[in-house]
Amino acid sequence: MCAGNGTVNETATTDGDYSICHGTQHTENVTWYIDFTTLKSIYRIAISGEVTYETPSGHLSVYISNSSSWTTGFLCAKLKKNINKQLTLNTTCAKHGRYVVIHFEGNSDLIQSGKSPRTKSDWFFICEIKIEGCDAGVFGENCNKNCSRHCIGKNCDILDGRCLSTMCSDGWQGNSCSKRCSNRTYGHQCQSTCGKCANLRDCHHLTGNCAEGCVDGWEGNKCDKGIM
């Protein structure tokens, strides 16, 4: 784990021992992040820690991001109340990302007005972090089901396998992109209409070609050219 205002022992914050905490001395804002080095499908985040300020203020936010910056991440949870004690955060956040970013933001108005003094005893601690999820590309309770290879990016929802992208590979449709184009459609987003295939059969879901030839008066692989 890395911190914008200090360093944290990663092993100590993921070892299950809540009695060992690592932290950074107060600055107005503190940002810590966990870098998985590759894209992950994250489901649940649990954080145990402590904030010790003479004057309680500020809030804690947790993001899933593709960069180490919280400003570009998806907000999973925010503790808005004044924090000056043991804190516990447990949130479900089914998102894909490479980083989990933890951001503590002090009350800048109080700090600038001089009403929120900071001393050498002011610290922000993290005692334990637990992150549950799967590698990108798989889903299910035991991460033992593969996302459809027809999902764009091959990433899907960790619970039900729905494709995260709004698009499927050419020739496929459905929430999990597991159904071939139907109702005489084919191609990109199943938006192209089949030609005059014999017996009004569906054409090939990818190419649009008619496997059994054309009805009378039409020709071509796709049966889309009228015979003059």
Q: Give the pLDDT of the chain (228 residues) as one tens digit per residue.
A: 444 433 333 444 455 555 667 666 655 677 888 999 999 999 999 988 776 665 455 677 899 999 998 899 999 998 765 555 677 889 999 999 999 998 877 654 444 444 444 444 566 678 888 999 999 999 998 999 999 999 988 889 999 999 987 789 999 999 999 999 999 999 999 999 999 999 888 999 999 999 999 999 999 999 999 987
Cα–Cα distance between 144 and 142 in angstroms, integer?
5
Q: Which residues partner with 25 through β-bridges? A: 123
Q: Are residues 44 and 150 in the same domain?
A: no
Q: For residue 28, is it within any domain? A: yes
Q: Are residues 47 and 151 in the same domain?
A: no
Q: Are residues 32 and 112 in the same domain?
A: yes
Q: Are residues 167 and 154 in the same domain?
A: yes
Q: Are residues 29 and 101 in the same domain?
A: yes
Q: Are residues 124 and 16 in the same domain?
A: yes
Q: For residue 95, is it within any domain? A: yes
Q: Are residues 112 and 215 in the same domain?
A: no
DSSP line for 21-63: -EEEE--SEEEEEEEEEEEEEEEEEEEEEEEE-SS---EEEEE
Q: For residue 185, is it within any domain? A: no
Structure tokens at 7: 């360093």
Domain count, the chain: 3
Q: Are residues 72 and 119 in the same domain?
A: yes
Give the range of the structural domain holding residue 219, as residue numbers without chain letter.
Answer: 190-228
- Read off the pTM: 0.71
Q: For residue 219, is it within any domain? A: yes
Q: Are residues 169 and 122 in the same domain?
A: no
Q: For residue 217, is it within any domain? A: yes
Burial class of 147 by CB neighbour count within 10 A (0 to 12, 13 to 18, 19+)? buried
Q: For residue 8, is it within any domain? A: yes
Which CATH number covers residue 62?
Answer: 2.60.120.260
Cα–Cα distance between 113 and 198 in angstroms, integer?
81
